[in-house]
Amino acid sequence: MNSSTANAHETIQWIGQTDGHLRLIDQTLLPEKLKEIDCRDIETVWEAIKILRVRGAPAIGIAAAYGVTVGLNAVDDSDTDAFWKTFDESVDYLATSRPTAVNLFWALDRLKTLAKDLREDHGGDLPTAREKLLAEAKSIHQEDREMCHSIGRFGAPLLEGVSGVLTHCNAGGLATAEYGTALSVFFTAQDQGHDLHVFVDETRPLLQGARLTAWELMQRNIKATLICDSMAAQVMREQKVQAVVTGADRIASNGDSANKIGTYSIAVLAHAHGIPFYIAAPSSTFDLGIESGDEIPIELRNSQEITHGFGRQTAPDGVEVYNPAFDVTPAKYIAGIITERGVISPVTRENVVAMIGG
């Protein structure tokens, strides 16, 4: 993460060489406490992804890639069969941590593709295999950093003439390698001398907007105003915002985009008020293998996130709870998808495939 965003603390770091470990900011403790955790075994990496110590589609993918290398630390270089068996088991295990964020599977697939070649060319040279697998994870990390900056460069011009903008959940440096996706647009605009006033949805029930996005914006000295999710319509009616920018966790080939629960509502409200709604996401977030958002799996989370938010009971015992973590915004409500390759607008299947490939 850029030194101006989070007191020089990086969201994700690899410490050491091939026998090293993964270090993460524990985002469940923000903003009250900035603490880094060291993941020295694969179970700790899986748990960090599952319970949102690390979250945001790109960051999940990076953490999972490093997690495979962490998993391989459990075996030595004397048993080739055990090494590759552990690799396969590590990939399969990490794939069970979160079902919606496509970057998780994209990153694991990259390592699987590399591993296939390594088995054929260096099957018994395990030190070389370790080095190349770690190098691939580091490449995924660096590529994401570069993609975030490119997204910002393409997205910032869309905010010319805009003074107020709304965002939902957290799509900043805490969700990626550095600048983020949606927040990269704001950070880049700031770098170019454009002062923005960002309205931040709390993003219930886990308050990623309140805990994380507001914190990141304040670290950058960007004017931020926190609102409850249910206040977005009023803010739009009062003409306090002229654009909305959010991230995404998976985008179908027709442009339908899954993001944190509540995003769909924001997009519909923006459409009703004539406000452009933008998605900012790297090409790795696109899943061209699915036709529409109807095919995106939606993670259902523990009911206690609603009934006992942050440890305090706020609902009667035994109440039925429905807790989807994501919703899907139809492409028709999206003015443009900002990628590291350019802006997809209008958002159609043809334009998605032309920009992303297929």
Instruction: List residues with catalytic annotation.
Output: 249
Burial class (CB in 10 A: 0-12, 13-18, 19+), 119: middle
Q: Which amino acid is at 116?
A: K
Cα end-to-end span (Å), the chain:
31
Q: What is the CA radius of gyration of the chain?
A: 20
Give CA–CA dist 51/265, Å, rounded. 25
Burial class (CB in 10 A: 0-12, 13-18, 19+), 194: middle
Instruction: Name the phi and psi angles at 157, rounded to 5.
Output: -60, -25
Burial class (CB in 10 A: 0-12, 13-18, 19+), 306: middle
Neighbour-count burial for 55-88, b at 16+ CB within 10 Å, e otherwise: bbbbbbbbbbbbbbbbbbbebebeeeeebbebbe
CB atoms within 10 A of CB 143: 16
Contact at 8 Å (CB) between 77 and 56? no
Contact at 8 Å (CB) between 300 and 324? yes
Angle separating helix axes 57-72 and 80-94, nearest 10 degrees = 160
Taking the CA atoms of residue 208, residue 210, residue 214 and residue 216 in that order, the dihedral angle to the nearest 10 degrees is: -30
